[in-house]
Chain A
Amino acid sequence: MRKTLIAAGLLLATPALAACTDNSTGDDSSDGGGDRAFTVASTDDACEVSGAEAPSGALKFEVTNTGSQVTEFYLLAEDGLRILGEVENIGPGVSRSLTVKAPAGDYFTACKPGMKGDGIRNAFTVTQSEDGEKELSASDQELVDEALAGYKLYVRDQSAQLLEKTTQFVELYKAGDKDDEARALYPVARTHWERIETVAESFGDLDPKMDLREADVEEGADWTGWHRLEKDLWPADAGKYKALTPAQRATYADDLLANTQELDDQIQGLDYTVDQLANGSRGLLEEVAAGKVTGEEEFWSHTDLYDFQANVDGARVAFEGVEPIVEKNDPDLADELSTQFDALQVLLDAQREGDGFKLYTDLTPEEIKGLSDAVNALSEPLSRLTAAVV
């Protein structure tokens, strides 16, 4: 996948986006009433939704912040990643409403007091309903607009979480006596990078500063970013490696954080086109095939499966965003992709350990081959996705 052109395209894209969120108190007479209308009370430690089930259609959530911190409210897809809709910046004492079209399925509601972390989540079920389906049947343009708006929210959310966790990681790493904690947070923080890797990489100037592997550094050039810190935290395989001094640690850590901040700043202004979404999905699987399934990405920490899962997450979120369009244009392809995503996920789930994953070096050759075969089985139909949505 071409990186630089995507960047150019992203930067040139016009910010004409049909938002699926509604921060205003404007006209909502057509929005779902009755069993599709809910109230949400967001406090500092709870997220009370007035119901946990609704018929499919346009749902309305009236969110009131009764806590002391600024909060946010999300309706998340079953994977807990894809964002159906969100309202941000709800100050203490303020009410805002979210209207979102939701087909039948399992969801999560989430409040984020303090606007940090994963939020306080509750399961939410949407059941099939005849009148609701009619409401959901959208024009092609509406489908595209919803996909793009949802993806934009997703990328911004992941970027925000990346910034938050990178800030924590950098503090632990600089402390000097908290390396175990830094090592534990490393793959978790990078998950947010890997989920949006194709977007992050589209910033051709930032990506090499943040995510370059040692082998990709030109002779004589300074090596910075995540993997520089990775090697310093996992020097075991590095032979005669000379540990960074506290001052060097601070330099490289601050540099990473500054670049993460800049990335987050830049991402705020990004809008996407539907082909970029589809290409991004394909590109993330290419990242898996090129670096993760071979164990080359996390050369020192061997936490490649975290990245692997995160790339797959990002690819799947992008695919599911455009899935309604694919369903219309090429239903067989939509089925095939869903099936292959599921098959790959089964193999990944088998390698979970605690909250994370086994190290790459603990996988058997047969397990690696199985993962690689599943990546190929998914990547081949995924390479036809863009043509099916444009």
Chain B
Amino acid sequence: MAVAGVAGAFAAGRASADGAAGASSALASSYAFRGEHQAGIVTPAQDRLHFAAFDLTTDDRDDVVALLQDWTEAAERMTRGDGAGEVGPVEGDPLLPPDDTGEAIGLPPARLTITFGFGPTFFDKLGLADRRPAALRRLPHFPADVLDPAISDGDLCIQACADDPQVAVHAVRNLARIAFGRAAVRWSQLGFGRTSSTSTTQDTPRNLFGFKDGTANLKAEQEDLVDTHLWVHPDDDAAAGWLAGGSYLCARRINMTIELWDRQPLADQEGFVGRTKGTGAPLTGTAEFDEPDFDAVTGTSPTIPVDAHVRLVHPSVHGGAQMLRRGYNFVDGSTPLGALDAGLFFIAYVRDPDTHFIPIQNTMAKSDALMEYLKVTGSALFAVPPGIAEGEYVGQALFT
């Protein structure tokens, strides 16, 4: 196995020329594609996202293996800062279209990671139903879901994250091109700002409600918790030993009704969240990382309201279950009524969606004060295979 973990994934050889805008100087400038786990999960969250879901256009297993091999090679090259193809964007035969589309010429790797996943339908289409993990099912309907099937689900997914949006888009664009004839893009989503920290080296960013988001997130440095809550273990599912070292990716396109939110008094906003808007401290504390005190009372009411977000999703009310959130703010222009088509493209990685995502999502959807301002328009679940060693292709364990 190749190196693993945040520090180990640092590709020292490329430290010199990079330094992408916006990235903390404490962070690496590029990450190895290979390792015990796929990059782009515990990797310190980059600033930008391009996420794409694909549908297979073939049911031939060999074709799909070939696609995964091609994707692996291209992804490894692009995460190094090289072109998608062997030749390069301007180095090839003038009579041929280039094997890289060129918009990343001269750009640094910008901490690009490319993470692949398999949706529930992937297994049925390829006759692999007996190897489909029991937990990999289409997510149930949650209250306030108004899903658009055109931006939900998918046979495959690619999460491309980078500090430069052009680098992330370049990756998805070239991988989609490589896939033609074998898989076609079903939907894709741009995210312009991270809403979570996945490392203690990062500050907590803000979502479009203006609040710090992901303060209590799982972080790469919490190795025991990461092992318990994030990675699938070899004996978790007898049918899916191939997924050991992998994880599940829960994706939710959460629209915020921004205009309504903006009219809420500050004290109400803070009550909905259970934290102050300025520092992000719980309403019972003074600093962001103070533990919330859910028993505290002000007057006759709980200081942190009974329907506050921080209370309802807290691990203490979900059997200790934690998730690693890796979401992004998005604005896809405006609706026909002039409202921002905006929100949070929520991504969470968990060891088991049946214990670490679905119950928490149901609690939130039924009772959370924030739900008044949220509408979920897209939803998908993918199994993210473990990382790969030299000579392997992504997802290889599933096919062997």
Contacts and interface: CB of A to CB of B under 8 A. Distances in A.
Contacts of A290: 257, 260, 372
Most buried by A among B144, B268, B337, B338: B337
A206 interface: no
A373 B338 contact: yes
Contacts of A373: 338
A387 B306 CA distance: 24
Contact of A2 (B141, B260, B268, B336): B268
Interface string A209-222: 00000011111100
A282 interface: yes
Contacts of A286: 260, 263, 372
A282 B146 contact: no
Contact of A376 (B141, B259, B271): B259
Contact of A218 (B143, B260, B301, B306): B143
B305 interface: yes
A372 B300 contact: no
B337 A369 contact: yes
Interface in B292-307: 300-301, 305-307
A5 B301 contact: yes
A2 B143 contact: no
Given A12-B300, A215-B144, A293-B337, A383 B263 contact: yes
Contacts of B307: 2, 4-5
Nearest to B369: A2
Interface in B231-263: 257, 259-260, 263
A289 to B, nearest CB: 6
B142 interface: yes
Given A218-B365, A365-B336, A282 B142 contact: no
Contacts of A218: 141-143, 362, 365-366
Contacts of A372: 337-339
Interface string A1-24: 111110010001000000000000
A380 B338 contact: no
Interface string A354-385: 00000000000100110011001001101100
Nearest to A296: B146
A351 interface: no
B400 to A, nearest CB: 36
B71 to A, nearest CB: 34
Contacts of A217: 141, 143
B25 interface: no
Interface string A268-296: 00000000000000100010011001101
A5 B337 contact: no
Interface in B328-376: 336-339, 362, 365-366, 369, 372
Contact of A379 (B263, B265, B306): B263
A80 B77 CA distance: 73
A387 B336 contact: no
A2 B265 contact: no
B106 interface: no
Nearest to A376: B259
B140 interface: yes
A66 interface: no
B270 to A, nearest CB: 11
Most buried by A among B143, B272, B369: B143
Contact of B140 (A5, A219, A296, A383): A219
A289 B146 CA distance: 17
Contacts of B264: 1, 383
A386 interface: yes
B260 A387 contact: no
B250 to A, nearest CB: 16
B265 A386 contact: yes
B259 A289 contact: yes
B338 A369 contact: yes
Interface string B132-152: 000000001111111000000
A4 B307 CA distance: 8
A382 B144 CA distance: 26
B337 A8 contact: no
B143 A294 contact: no
A372 B131 CA distance: 50
Interface string B110-154: 000000000000000000000000000000111111100000000
Contacts of A289: 257, 259-260
Nearest to A282: B263
B300 A216 contact: no
A3 B272 CA distance: 11
A215 B271 CA distance: 26
A139 B271 CA distance: 33
Contacts of B146: 215, 296
Nearest to B145: A215
Contacts of A383: 263-265
6 contacts: A216-B143, A218-B143, A290-B257, A369-B336, A376-B338, A383-B263
A-B pairs, 8 with minimum CB distance: A383-B263, A219-B140, A372-B337, A219-B141, A216-B143, A215-B146, A218-B143, A4-B307
Given A2-B307, A365-B336, 10 more contacts: A2-B272, A4-B306, A4-B307, A4-B369, A215-B143, A216-B143, A219-B140, A289-B260, A368-B337, A376-B338
Interface of A: 1-5, 8, 12, 215-220, 282, 286, 289-290, 293-294, 296, 365, 368-369, 372-373, 376, 379-380, 382-383, 386-387
